[in-house]
């Protein structure tokens, strides 16, 4: 059998044989390019037209950072890396940032309020169902009936909030608010 010519490693190691002055110059040049790129992206992001840049764990939209979690929720952080809100889905988070960048604060607040209502009602529904299961196991049927009434109210509120947010999403898609 013949040996593969591509298996051999290079005898030269360029980084270890570079003089310290040359290494320092290349590091300074790389730092300058990185700083310049960050500064230019920042100036582009401050415009009224939102630019969506994918990152390792989410997106950078304008001055906002969106982190997509494994459970499909999205954390929204502002320019100072301060946590703003945990959104139920990515579309709501992106729409909130787009409307905030375009200074349509009323719609942005409505999106956040609807998302908070969706989160609250989803949690309430889960809690009511678990409470009903425990009450059925203890054979406390009056508690089951009370929880059922509250469960129906929460389901109706969740459905209404999802309908409203869907209308906002359709309006945004139809009118192309990101342009």
Spatial contact of 72 and 86, defined as CB atoms under 8 Å apart: no
pLDDT of residue 51: 77
| Residue 14 pLDDT exceeds 50 | no
- pLDDT, one tens digit per residue, over 42-86 is 676 666 667 788 888 888 887 888 999 888 889 999 888 899 999
What is the percentage of the chain residues whose pLDDT exceeds 90?
32
pLDDT of residue 174: 84
Spatial contact of 73 and 88, defined as CB atoms under 8 Å apart: yes
Average pLDDT over residues 157-179: 86
Residue 38 CA, distance from chain mean position: 21
Q: Per-residue confidence at 115, pLDDT binned at 50, 70, 90? A: very high
Average pLDDT over residues 90-96: 90
pLDDT of residue 46: 65
Task: Identify which has the larger pLDDT, 39 or 10.
Answer: 39
pLDDT of residue 141: 86
- pLDDT, one tens digit per residue, over 126-139 is 999 999 999 999 88
């Amino acid at each position: 059998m013949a040996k593969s010519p591509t298996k051999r490693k290079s005898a030269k190691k360029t980084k270890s044989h570079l003089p310290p002055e040359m290494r320092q110059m290349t590091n300074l040049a790389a730092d300058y390019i990185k700083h310049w790129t960050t500064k230019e992206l920042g100036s582009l992001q401050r415009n009224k037209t939102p630019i969506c840049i994918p990152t390792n764990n989410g997106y950078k939209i304008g001055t906002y950072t969106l982190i997509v979690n494994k459970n499909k929720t999205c954390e929204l952080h502002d320019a100072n890396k301060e946590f703003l809100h945990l959104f139920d889905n990515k579309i709501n988070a992106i729409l909130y940032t787009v409307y905030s960048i375009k200074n349509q604060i009323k719609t942005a607040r409505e999106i956040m309020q609807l998302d908070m209502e969706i989160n609250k009602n989803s949690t309430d529904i889960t809690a009511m169902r678990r409470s009903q299961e425990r009450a059925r196991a203890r054979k406390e049927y009056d508690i089951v009936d009370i929880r059922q009434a509250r469960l129906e109210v929460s389901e109706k509120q969740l459905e209404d909030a999802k309908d409203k947010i869907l209308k906002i999403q359709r309006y945004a898609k139809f009118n192309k608010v990101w342009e």
